[in-house]
Structure 1
């Protein structure tokens, strides 16, 4: 352990996520942090373990019609529909900004076909500045692309294998909770060559406007995130941890360091905080500070000592 000027031992928060070296285990989830600059007034971007940028597709997408977001008890529903300017705009307009600030950038990509995933990856591979790729194969609120790629083991294998052929970067498929056997999906991703797993994406849900007697969301269904899904995420990571050899980026309802510790203790090497960014834009910074303090107070030299300790 290093020591700070007051000679208090500073625990080691660094982790390795399938070849992606992070200074600390706190990442910000795709779709909740924009491209980083939206939060620069609140957070020292390089101090975050990793910034997972907004989901990116091959060509620009306008997203779904409004209304497409609504609060729910202990969470929120979103049906944004992967609105984004496309991969070329990301690489030329947003990535340079993050690189100038020495941010660890994880690109989240989505496609309508396996070939689109491969093509986006080829373009990323030709650029510099992206540290890893998160495969969005689990978005529940788009009609093309998204969740259908992540609910069938054979398709998961094909997408992951196609992307791995195009890049030397660590690849993290983001798994959908909207399946009956999460372990089968995780094993398929591992067989396809994934370097780590990202768990979990949102749960499919809906809300009804009883005054107008119709669904609140124009898309009808949306992805449920926030504290409401934390027990599901913990359960799935617990199930997968001993069934594959891949490290896990765990997320789903994290709002404080206690939540983050639960994810680490069930098997996550690193964590991603999402919906909480909308509640407290400084939450990622706070998580790093609080995890450090927890380790110090409990005389734990490295956060890695806690990975998977809850398994019995």
Structure 2
């Protein structure tokens, strides 16, 4: 079942979220072979960048908390990995980028090879190094819009913006991105920050003490945000955040997502999660005698 997302056609539903199995070409290829319609690499910066020291990931009973610290293999090295995916699969190849300044987003977007990648995802959850307090770009609708405009002017590829759930003005941020040319929205990034404490050492389990929360625990928040965004904007949405079952994906689509995304769910269900969800989704639509387009945003029409 092919799905049109803006002007990009996905031959299958399901998008691998940035940060999970998105470093090597063959790990990304495995995800595509197991049913993902789109694959997003781990967010990259212009040059290589070190993250936080280990431990950076901890699993708890209803999710995962991580503080990888925006480590990056850099555009050049990651491009060679993405070429493996491009050459050997029909999945939509999505390059996720981050930067420390508005201008750097444009510079990084311009470095993405338009012959290898099909879309650029702009991760605006990173801190603005030009800001006195280092506030994330995603907290400010105006700056988020500026980043969108600069990125769009730096590439011919479709540009989608990945939003943070940690600010109450997320719909205003999305509207600003849309007004400045965004081709779509990814929602949501990790929730938080959160913390876990070792009950024997009484120290935080992460080296950075706190980190972003993902997995089933954040699904209701992600779903509500996708629902709100669908009412606020006209551009398509990739809905993600705690999707681990077909029913989760169906809810995301009913709330307004054009495509569903999976990240942490792979830790629970393996890479075959995409194939399994897509098969269940096809069966669901057949049972309901419903076209896929009719399911998108249906919760707003009932």
1:227 to 199, 202, 216: 216
Change (3 A) 1:41 1:89: closer
Does residue 25 of structure 1 match 2:13? yes
Post-superposition offset of 1:15: 1.8
In 2: Cα distance, 1:43 partner to 1:190 partner: 29
2:201 to 209, 212, 219: 212
2:83 match: secondary structure: helix
1:190 match: secondary structure: helix
1:112 to 100, 104, 121: 100
Does residue 189 of structure 1 match 2:177? yes
For residue 268 of structure 2, what is the aligned residue in structure 1?
279
In 2: Cα distance, 1:240 partner to 1:164 partner: 21
In 2: Cα distance, 1:265 partner to 1:41 partner: 28
Larger RCO of the pair (alpha carbons < 8 Å, separation 6+): 1
For residue 153 of structure 1, what is the aligned residue in structure 2?
141
Superposition map of 1:1-312 within 5 A: 13-34=1-22, 35-38=24-27, 40=29, 44=33, 47-91=35-79, 93-102=80-89, 103-124=91-112, 126-139=113-126, 148-204=136-192, 205-281=194-270, 282-300=272-290, 302-311=291-300, 312=302
Alignment gaps of 5+ in structure 1: 1-12
1:108 match: secondary structure: strand
Post-superposition offset of 1:29: 0.6
In 1: Cα distance, 2:114 partner to 2:235 partner: 26
Moved over 3 A (4+): 39-43, 142-147
Change (3 A) 1:163 1:247: same
**Contact preservation (8 Å) 2:29, 2:84:** no
Q: TM-score, normalised by structure 1?
A: 0.89
**Contact preservation (8 Å) 1:250, 1:270:** yes
Post-superposition offset of 1:210: 2.6
Post-superposition offset of 1:39: 5.7
In 1: Cα distance, 2:234 partner to 2:292 partner: 19
In 1: Cα distance, 2:8 partner to 2:29 partner: 23
1:150 match: secondary structure: helix
**Contact preservation (8 Å) 2:28, 2:39:** no
Deviations 1:191-250 (A, max 9, x none): 121011100000111111232122111111111000100100111111111111111110
Deviates more, 1:259-268 or 1:232-241: 232-241
Post-superposition offset of 1:280: 2.1
Q: TM-score, normalised by structure 2?
A: 0.92
Post-superposition offset of 1:33: 2.4
| CA RMSD across the alignment | 1.9
In 1: Cα distance, 2:114 partner to 2:262 partner: 27
